[in-house]
Chains A and B, each alone.
Chain A
């Protein structure tokens, strides 16, 4: 089973409110990633966990938080959503390699 699951699939949030997105995988992959994708743009890496070590990209360091309570689950947390956060959020996992397995994404709309 190479399934990566994401919940919810669609999320509506108000400006200034927190948002929490969930991702799970059952492939025992050591690395889990979160990307932000806007229309006609490349997926942008936000952060990734290698085992229990969190790596956040420098330009989004203060905007996104994450936790990985166990190998299978990983969350993406936005403390205060702004309009610019409206996007598709893609979770992926890999076993320390370039082949990443992606979930279907969560479409976040901030109003």
Chain B
């Protein structure tokens, strides 16, 4: 069964700092990796995805994927209090059409 592990469980950073979140997955054949953001009282919302080894940058977000080590990381530059949320890592298997999620990282950005 496919598994996704996230670390750390929680992270507190000051406003303006870099936030770094990590995720490891069990299946190297995973088709794409996604990061979702969930604010209290709302459903998860897709933030950014990556398919190929290497990195992808969108605005303040950068994702790094290393399939050989089954590791992906999300970095949020210039973190803002509005970035405070739960971040869910997920991998999408095209063969099954399913997303498998990790338990999430709770990010708190202190003003």
Contacts and interface: CB of A to CB of B under 8 A. Distances in A.
A104 B43 contact: yes
A96 B41 CA distance: 26
Interface residues of A, number: 21
Main secondary structure of the interface of B (DSSP, over half): strand
Nearest to A103: B43
Interface stretch (A14-22, A36-44, A69-77, A79-87): A36-44
Interface string A21-64: 00000000001000000001111010010100000000000000
A42 B97 contact: no
A90 B97 contact: no
A92 B102 contact: no
Main secondary structure of the interface of A (DSSP, over half): loop
A24 to B, nearest CB: 14
Interface in B22-50: 31-32, 34, 41-46, 49
Contacts of B90: 98
Contacts of A41: 103
B41 A43 contact: no
B99 A102 contact: no
B92 A92 contact: no
Interface of B: 4, 9, 31-32, 34, 41-46, 49, 88, 90, 92, 97-104
9 closest cross-chain pairs (CB), A and B:
A102-B43, A98-B92, A42-B101, A43-B101, A42-B103, A99-B46, A102-B44, A103-B43, A104-B43
